[in-house]
Each structure stands twice: as structure tokens, then as C-alpha cells.
Structure 1
């Protein structure tokens, strides 16, 4: 592991920083944030959602359904549902091209890109720990 990469131990102050952030919010804002976090965790906790979103986090261009299907061991109907969930949540943008055969691409939105650093943190954590 690179010496300049943070390890899980480098985040020892993170719980206090999180508590301080939470304390800094007024009640209405804290409730809004907590609802949003709960909704995000519900979405990410659905079967295969993290795997699908991870493909976008490490991709350099929009992805087609067939590319995702080839990269992931996810049933086609589940993949279709997850892409719909992520699109509905505003994390992916779906673009359909008027071509024969039809072509549809999915691209992460700014909201999704804001989450992508989490995937790097998870990979660094996995380099140090195992479950």
C-alpha cells in the first residue's frame, strides 16, 4: 500500500468530526440529512446496487446495459431494476439513442460522482482488513 494513502487507522478522529457535524445542524436540517442518509443506505443496500454503482465509479465513460451485464454476475431483470432505481434516485442519467439496433447508455450524475470517493475508501479499507 502507498505510504501517502490514508489507512483505516488514519480516520480515528472521524467519529468526533461526524458528531461535531451533526451537532452543528439545526433540528430541521439534521432530520432532513438523516432522512436522506437513510434513503441512500436503503438504496445502496438493495441486492447488487453497490456492484452496479461501483462499475460506474471506476468507469471512464458511459456504460451500456450489455457492458454492465458482461462485467457483473447480476440477472438481467435485477440489473434493469437497479439501473431504474439509480436513475429514479438521480444518480444515473439514461440516454436512449434513436438507432437500429436501439442503444441506451447510462452515465453517473454529479450526485453519483459525489459518492464515488467512498468506493476508494472501501477499497483501501479492504486492502488492510478482511471480513
Structure 2
């Protein structure tokens, strides 16, 4: 008999944060706003299409905001909302955990 029920909010949060690149995009935006190309260059092996898709998903979830500056050429920046900034301590703890427990294989 299974007495365990997963909290739907927890499940949704884990589902969102476990999507490839989401946590890393949040990490890249923690110091402040960045343009699309800056985010892309910080995350090697990330295609522009996937980055665009993730940014849209994260904007829909209220984790980031997209600001368009009416300049020529148009400048667009992405930044964390308060909801996104609230992830900083969680990512910090993951960093602490990884430092203690994750071994990196040494390539020869």
C-alpha cells in the first residue's frame, strides 16, 4: 500500500527546474540582466533555438522578464524576477552539495 502523495507544487517546481538548461540560465542571470547572445555564449553546447524556447517558458512561469529597449538597433535584455531571484539560495546549496559530493572525471 502506498501512503505517499507528491505535492503538486513541488512536482511542478522540480519538473520546471529539471528541464535542460533552466537552472543554468537562472545561474547566468543571477549577477544581472544579460542579452540573448551573452547568455548563449556563457552556456556552451546550447543552441539558439533551445535557449529561445527556455527563455519563453521561464518568462511564462514568471521566473525571468524580457525588457525591450526602443533603440536602434533594438536592445533586448533578460533578467530575473523576484520569483527567479528566490532560486539563488537553492542553486547556492546545489553548488555546495556538488563541491562536496561530485567527482569530475579527469580526461587524459
Aligning the two structures, in what range does the TM-score lie when normalised by the shorter sequence?
A: 0.7 to 0.9
1: CA distance, partners of 2:10 / 2:77:
27
* 1:66-85 paired onto structure 2 within 5 Å: 66-73=37-44, 74-85=46-57
1: CA distance, partners of 2:51 / 2:89:
23
Q: TM-score, normalised by structure 2?
A: 0.82
What residue is the counterpart of 1:109 in the other structure? Answer: 81
Structure 1 residue aligned with 2:19, among 46, 70, 73?
A: 46
What is the total number of aligned residue pairs between the two structures? 98
Where does structure 1 lack aligned partners over 5 or more consecutive residues?
1-30
Displaced runs of 4 or more, over 2 A: none
Cα displacement string for residues 1-53 of structure 1 (whole angstroms, at most 9, x for unaligned residues): xxxxxxxxxxxxxxxxxxxxxxxxxxxxxx8xx22221111111112112111
Instruction: Please state if 1:62 is matched with 2:62.
Output: no
What residue is the counterpart of 1:12 in the other structure? Answer: none
Greater Rg by CA: 1
CA RMSD, 1 decimal: 1.7
Displacement of 1:121 in angstroms is 0.6
Structure 2 residue aligned with 1:120, among 62, 71, 92?
A: 92
Q: TM-score, normalised by structure 1?
A: 0.69
